[in-house]
Structure 1
């Protein structure tokens, strides 16, 4: 986590003070200082600590290349990913963490990243963010492989709708907290290209069922005849259309058609004389 040195004066005491704050960015650090009663005069981002001697020795012992890491956080993630045999997380996954102001390095493994996000959002007061994250994971997995898979984001109205609806539901929130974070990228049984199968997040929980139900109300889900959003009568707030009172046109019989033709021929003969 970035460290910020903040210099200012106490609002009540008027005395000079210098304090260190750990925060995702300067804006949050400033707010934390102000909440502590500091009138901020100067703020400075402090450099990260270099890799520790223990990290360097551990990497050397296990032949782990840490040359790409510039600080102790980078190196910690490089070593951790190597020991756990993790693949490095993609940019789109790191962006999820940064959306929630969770600091991650460029070297964090995929499983570790999802666990870190889930654990951070499981703290009291972050129920809405936790449901938002879980709904995003469920939605993305549900449409994986479809043309829509690259279009959703954490700002998707359907996902925000789910978070608003469910973040006060203690059964759903507690159900989400029971998931292992590293099993949230996929749900159900998945088979690798090599033919190995692995079970990920369960689809039978209170959380999963509740989220899917609401997504089917509001989201664009694959497997339908069109890509139009599913809209309920309640959303439209209108009454069902009534059948038209217009009478259907009656089909003419063969005799009626012949009669019309005969009359037409007679009239044509009369007027042609």
Structure 2
């Protein structure tokens, strides 16, 4: 296995344990300038991940780090992109639907991705260059990465002929999304089912065949999507930027993503 992927897996699991230490306590919630919530769990997780990733020569973009100006980032060939706690709103609600996201980018394209769900110990990881995407529910968080690889199962796309399953955000469903769902209902004879999830788990639903389409018509940042895109890409899916019509790129001048779509196949027509 790629050594950087091993490192990211180890970092995500240990960060997840730091998050769960806070999750099981009463904790304070602060708010950033954009009104997004921040807890000590975000900060503790970030500290753990930085300790791992800073052992590599690869620069890091993390939600909880001070963001460098594009003039300093524009010549990077590689970078890590990290969300130490994706789904802070879900964490605050204590519904378990929050994740640790770590991705490796090369020439603006996703190469590796890890998504770890601390509350359930569900681990997803991918190496895009090897078309490898796997998942495992950890029985032992102290298991070696080699054991994790051997015990994990491959993610496989599944075509559902009876219905179209559309992923909706647990906390961010909006008018554009509901309009898109309505348009799908008009264009297909299949039953349309809404599958709700928080955080980057929405990508995992499509990559694991539990959903068919993930439309995102709400703001996200690069750290919200990079790891999920890597997992989707490794199973043969594309995350398409609505503005460019192309696969979403990373380490852009503006770290705010455009709207995007992940789709298993063309399920929104009658053909």
TM-score, structure 2 length as denominator?
0.23
Greater C-alpha Rg = 1
The structure richer in strand per residue is 2
